[in-house]
Structure 1
Amino acid sequence: MKHASKFFAALTLLVAITVFPSAVSAQYGYATSNYAAQQAAYAQQQQYAAAYQAQMQQQAWAAYHAQQQQQAAYHAQMQQQAAYAAQQQQMMMAVRAVPVARSAPAAGSLIRYDGKYAACSSSLPSQVKYLINAANHLQSSPYVRGGGHGRVEDRAYDCSSSTSYTLIKAGLLKSPLTSAGFAKYGQAGEGRFITIWVKPGDHVFMTVCGLRLDTSGGKVGEGPRWRPQGRSYAGFSPRHPFGL
């Protein structure tokens, strides 16, 4: 009897599932309509996630592209600056380029030399005139290494002290300099009237309107003299007083 009852109950449930599936599903907690809604919500979430991921990838690519453009612009700017610096260096080298030898100034120039003393045109600045007069004062002075450095007025001079003497008398220098000190004197390059030629630690001389005042090029022991002869300028850097 019990077995018959169980069989009848199972048969009844099978018929109910076949005829009324929605009702049975609702009774057991998984209605067909709810399952479809859950599936639709899940699909929508997947779409949102895919759209968000695509948006993030697009933003990341845009940021990377902008960074690449900034780096390219920076490198282009650095190349332009390097090219400009190289151009300026070439210009400076051209300005400082010095021929191997130079001769005395031509006749009719701003300065004249009579074999011992120099005379200048009245049109020259006063400081240039004072410097030429000071150089004329040294034409009989002997050469002594270190002379003229302890005091401005001395009995003998070397290359740097004689150059210093003329500049001091012209009001263009306060105290004597060595050849190394002249490497930083005034401005780089040749001057309009006065140029100091420097080989630091070795030698220094000057040209005034093209006429050279130098301790080398004469007899042994001969001090600063006007030298009309040409000489080698190789290895010397030109400098000049400000404005002159």
Structure 2
Amino acid sequence: MTYTSEARPRNRRLSVAIGLATTCAALSFAAAPAFGEGSGGVGMGGGGATTPPTAGTTPPTPTTPPTAGTTTRGTTAKLKHGFAVPPASAPRKVVRAIEAANRIVKGKPYCMGGGHARRNDECYDCSGTISYALSGAGLLDAAMPSGSFMDWEERGRGEWITTYANGGHMYAVIAGLRLDTSMTAGVGPGWSKAMRSGRGYVKRHPLGF
């Protein structure tokens, strides 16, 4: 094939560009750690030993709730790695509500109607989340939609548990932490130290709590 005088420079530039891209990709691959390196996984080369984490490496965030019976001082629950640690002074049913909620936070996504057809579901909506916590404490027999919580149990805020409900959404404050599904879109149940104003919500609480 005969090249024109204009084609040769363009082809030379293309060859140089391809060469640089290939070199860059090779260097990136060589610099990248093997799969599982430093995390206890299996390296790309097979079943050889992996490199241990270097000193000062941040440990992974726990993905399992605190052991049952773990408590904290004071009268307010503490937030630790996304889980709630109940106060030692809390009544047993309040502790059970917190422990139940801990089982579905961090890992269960949000879905409309989740937690209503079955208690142990793959995902939960707002009222399904609160129903799960309250039923785990023996304070609710079956899951209810948010509208039904507007006239549930006693009026006003409770000492330990308060539900906030309207026709479209609900959440609860248990031992000073908010249990909600609206912190991050799509993420599902979670705890938060940040409180909402409560404006536009009906406040109720279980008798004695």
Please give the secondary structure, in 2, of the residue aligned with 1:113. strand
Please give the secondary structure, in 2, of the residue aligned with 1:231. coil
Q: CA deviation at 1:108?
A: 4.7
Larger radius of gyration: 1
Residues 61-72 of structure 1: matches in 2 within 5 Å?
Answer: none
For the Cα contact (< 8 Å) 2:74–2:88, is it kept in 1?
A: no
1:120 aligns with 2:103: no
Aligned to 2:208: 243
Please give the secondary structure, in 2, of the residue aligned with 1:212. strand
Q: CA deviation at 1:210?
A: 1.7
1:194 aligns with 2:161: yes
The structure with more helix, counted as a fraction of residues: 1
CA distance in 1, matches of 2:119, 2:154: 23
1:140-198 CA-partner distances (Å, limit 9, x unpaired) = 21000011110111010000011000111100000000011111211010001000001
For the Cα contact (< 8 Å) 2:74–2:89, is it kept in 1?
A: no
Give me the identity figure in percent: 40
If asked which structure has higher relative contact order (CA below 8 Å, sep 6+), I would say 1
For the Cα contact (< 8 Å) 2:75–2:89, is it kept in 1?
A: no
Aligned to 1:181: 148
After superposing on structure 2, the runs of 4+ consecutive aligned residues of structure 1 that deviate more than 3 Å are none
Q: CA RMSD in A?
A: 1.4
Residues 1-244 of structure 1: matches in 2 within 5 Å?
Answer: 108-139=74-105, 140-199=107-166, 201-218=167-184, 220-244=185-209
CA distance in 1, matches of 2:131, 2:168: 15
TM-score by length of structure 1 reads 0.54
Report the AA paired with residue 85 of structure 2.
A
CA distance in 2, matches of 1:230, 1:124: 20
Report the AA paired with residue 242 of structure 1.
L
Please give the secondary structure, in 1, of the residue aligned with 2:132. helix
For the Cα contact (< 8 Å) 2:74–2:87, is it kept in 1?
A: no
Q: Which runs of 5+ in 2 are unaligned?
A: 1-72
- Count of matched residue positions in the alignment of Structure 1 and Structure 2: 136
Aligned to 2:23: none
Q: Which runs of 5+ in 1 are unaligned?
A: 1-106
CA distance in 1, matches of 2:196, 2:155: 21
Report the AA paired with residue 188 of structure 1.
R
TM-score by length of structure 2 reads 0.62
